[in-house]
Each structure stands twice: as C-alpha cells, then as structure tokens.
Amino acid sequence: MRVVILISGRGSNMQAIVEAGIAGAEVVAVISNRPDAEGLAFARERGIETCVVDHTRFDGREAFDRALATHIDAFAPQLIVLAGFMRVLTDGFVAHYHGRMINVHPSLLPAFQGLHTHRRALEAGVRIHGATVHLVSPELDSGPILAQAAVPVLPGDDPASLAARVLAAEHRIYPQVVRWFAEGRIRTDSEGRVRVHGEAAAERALCVPGAIEA
C-alpha cells in the first residue's frame, strides 16, 4: 500500500508511522505546505521523497487544493495521511480522496472538535481525554471514527502537559490504523458505514496506561 503523508510542521505522527515499519505499507512521499516544516528533513534522511506545495503562493483554497492533489496523485497512493497538516481542505479535495484519507484529532471525538482541545478539556473539567483517528469528511472533525485512545487528566495538568500525554497516545494509534489499512481490515459495508474487521475490531478503543507517566 502506497502512503503519502501531509505535514505542516515537525510531523511527529509522520515520524511515528515511518519508524513503525509497517509491513505492507510504504511511505512514498511526505508533502508539506510549508517550506520550513521540520519533518521534511526527517523524511529526506530516511530516503523518502519530499515536496513542498506552498499555500501562500496560491490565490485561494481551491487553487491550492488542485495543485496539492496533482502532487499527491503523481505518487499514486492508496492512503493519504494527514499528520499535523494545518489546512482546511475544500469539499472537492475531500471527495477526491473519499474513503482513503485519514486524520488524527487530539480529543475523543465528537467532543472538542476544532482547535484548543486541551485547554477546552481542562476548562470543562473532564477526567478522561484522548485522541481519535478518523476518515476525513467535508464536515470538520466529523468523519467515521476508526480508533480512539483515552488518557487520564491528572491533577495539576495544564494544556502543555495534557497535550504531551495525548500526543503519546496518537503515536500509538495512528500507526495501528495505517497497519489496518495495509492489512485490508477497514472496509465499507453496503450502507456506507466503515467497519474494522478481524482482531482489529476489539482494538478500536484503546486505553493507554503507559501514557500516564508521559
């Protein structure tokens, strides 16, 4: 399975996926909308092809998305992975990659969609927070959920400490979902619902006790 990963910064989830060495999945390219994205150096050091599609050089989201899709399609991927890609995508772009583009969000969706999830979780007084991997849909952070990982909210947490704990959970479940795609375990049924088949089905909701010390 050919995988293209999109990043905007250091791409720590991209690094977790690459370092997982997933059988049957090859990261064929890492693409960024920012020329200074730190993750590009990591990819190059590992022999992965990189390219930059600088969004500031385009007149509007539609023009940028068309150029981005052209670069992605040149690598003929079966899966597109958003790993800290900080761009709102147009409906046409999402439709073009329907069923084969995934994202990770730092909350237990549908709670705390959008930005500033850790601050909002602390303000709400929740005791459990976490991360969600989902298929990308036109509605922001609303696509079918593929896997979730829960972490505790500890006394004395601030947004930074909670973010670090959640990020450790993301690094665990994101490579797992990519592995499920490579193994053919994620399928769509006759009613358009996404299902995880086989042993993976029992692992869709994961508690991450090791992240308590993170």
Q: What is the DSSP string of 119-137?
A: HHHHHHT-SEEEEEEEE--
Domain boundary assignment for the chain:
1-97, 103-214
- Catalytic residue IDs: 105
pLDDT at residue 206, rounded to an integer: 61
Q: What is the CATH number of domain 103-214?
A: 3.40.50.170
Interval 22-80: pLDDT, tens: 999 999 999 999 999 999 999 999 999 999 999 999 999 999 999 999 999 999 999 99
Interval 102-144: pLDDT, tens: 999 999 999 999 999 999 999 999 999 999 999 999 999 999 9
CATH assignment of 1-97, given 1.20.58.220, 3.40.190.10, 3.30.530.20, 3.40.50.170? 3.40.50.170
* CA distance linking residue 205 with residue 171, whole number of Å: 15
The DSSP code for 188 is E
